[in-house]
Amino acid sequence: MPELPDIDVYVARLNERISGQVLHEVRIATPFLLRTVEPPLRISNGRVVRGLRRIGKRIAIGLEGDYWLVLHLMIAGRLHWHDERPATAGRNRLAIFDFSSGSMSVTEAGTKKRASLHLVHGHDALEAQDPGGIEPLQCTLAEFTDRLTCENRTLKRALTDPRKFSGIGNSYSDEILHAAGLSPIAHTRKLHPGNRQKLYDAMRAVLCTWRDKLMVESATKFPEKVTAFRNGMAVHGRFGKPCPDCGTVVQRIRYKSNETNYCPRCQTGGRLLADRALSRLLKAGWPDSIED
C-alpha cells in the first residue's frame, strides 16, 4: 500500500501537472470504485483544480467550488500519467481523470478491488474522510507519546493504526522499528521514555529519508514503480536476507495477508518471535533464539 512518502510524492508530481488545470471528465471503468452518489460525479466536470493534499493514505484533489475528489489506492492501487488521452479499456484500469494538461489513470492489480473514490463537498465532508491520525512529521514528542500510549498495544499495531498516526503502514513501520532497535511486539505503555524518544526520532528520520529519496527519483518523470518493497530497505521484504547492520538473517511474523519483518539481534535481543502459522505447526520444536 502506498504510504506517507509515496503519497507525498504522488501529490507533488500531480501538483506540477494539474494544479490550475481544468478537469474535463472522470471516466469510470469499473462501478465499484465510486463510493458516493451525492453530489453526482458529473458535477466535477469542467472545474479548475485548486489544490492537492494528502489525507492519511488518501489523495485529495480540490476543485473550484470547494469540491474534493478523494482517492484511496488501498494495497494494489497505482497512478499513471498520460500525455495523450488513453482509452478506458486497459489492464486493471479503474478510472481515467482527463485534465487540460493530460490524463491520470488509476489501476489496481489483483482480483480484490479495494480502491475507492469519493466526491465530497465542503470542509466538513472532507474532514470526515480523515481517520484522525496525527501527522508524524509535524507532531511534537509529547503529542507522539500521547497517541502512542493512549492504548496499550504492540508498537507495530500502534504505528500502523490510521487513527493514531497518519500515513504509516506495514512497510515503513518495519523500517522505523528497525531503525529504533525496538521489538514490533513491545507494548506501548511499557516503553521506557528513552525508547519513546528513539522511536520518535526513527519515525521522522525514516519517513523523511524515503520521501526525499523518492522525490529525487521522480524529479524528471511521474512515479510509476510505487512498491512496498524497495532496494535499500533494511528489513521490510527481506526475510531470509542479512540485516545490513549486523548480518543476522531477517525474520518475519505472518498474519493473514500481512507480515512483519525484523532483525532478532538488533531488535529482540536474539529472541525469535512466534510466527502464528509456523510456531503452531512446530509447537515445542519452535526455536526460542537465533542460536537455536
**Which CATH number does the domain housing residue 275 bear?**
1.10.8.50
152 lies in the same domain as 106 = no
Task: Report the pLDDT averaged over residues 176-205.
Answer: 97
pLDDT band for position 287 (cuts 50, 70, 90): low
Question: Is 241 within the bounds of a domain?
Answer: yes
116 lies in the same domain as 170 = no
Do the beta carbons of residue 71 and residue 61 sit within 8 Å? yes
153 lies in the same domain as 263 = yes
Q: Which of 49-58, 168-177, 193-202, 265-274 has the lowest average pLDDT?
A: 265-274
Task: Report the pLDDT averaged over residues 42-59.
Answer: 97
148 lies in the same domain as 279 = yes
Closest CA to 164 of 186, 192, 145, 141: 145
pTM, entire model: 0.92
Question: Is 199 within the bounds of a domain?
Answer: yes
Question: Is 212 within the bounds of a domain?
Answer: yes
Question: Is 104 within the bounds of a domain?
Answer: yes
Q: Does the structure show a pLDDT above 50 at 279?
A: no
166 lies in the same domain as 272 = yes
Question: Is 71 within the bounds of a domain?
Answer: yes
pLDDT at res. 288: 64
At 127, give phi and psi (nearest 5°). -60, -30
Do the beta carbons of residue 132 and residue 53 sit within 8 Å? no
Helix (H, G, I), strand (E, B) or coil at 106: strand
Q: Does the structure show a pLDDT above 60 at 127?
A: yes
User: What DSSP state is assigned to residue 273?
Assistant: P
Q: Which of 100, 127, 154 is the last residue of a domain?
A: 127
Closest CA to 271 of 255, 291, 256, 253: 291
At 5, give phi and psi (nearest 5°). -60, -40
187 lies in the same domain as 266 = yes
Tell me which amino acid residue 26 is: V
155 lies in the same domain as 113 = no
145 lies in the same domain as 280 = yes
Question: Is 172 within the bounds of a domain?
Answer: yes
279 lies in the same domain as 155 = yes
CA dihedral sign, ordered 36, 40, 42, 44 = negative
41 lies in the same domain as 9 = yes
pLDDT at res. 126: 97
pLDDT band for position 114 (cuts 50, 70, 90): very high
List all residues 6 or more positions away from 211 whose beta carbon is below 8 Å from its beta carbon: 4, 5, 8, 9
pLDDT at res. 110: 83
Q: Which of 84-93, 122-131, 169-178 has the lowest average pLDDT?
A: 84-93
Number of structural domains the chain divides into? 2
CA 134 to chain centre: 14
Which residue has cell 481517520?
A: 131
pLDDT band for position 72 (cuts 50, 70, 90): very high
Question: Is 291 within the bounds of a domain?
Answer: no
Do the beta carbons of residue 13 and residue 222 sit within 8 Å? yes
Which structural domain range is residue 50 located in? Answer: 4-127
Question: Is 133 within the bounds of a domain?
Answer: no
Q: Which of 62, 96, 127 is the last residue of a domain?
A: 127
**The CA-based dihedral angle spanning residues 230, 231, 234, 237, taken in that order and rounded to the nearest 10 degrees:** 50
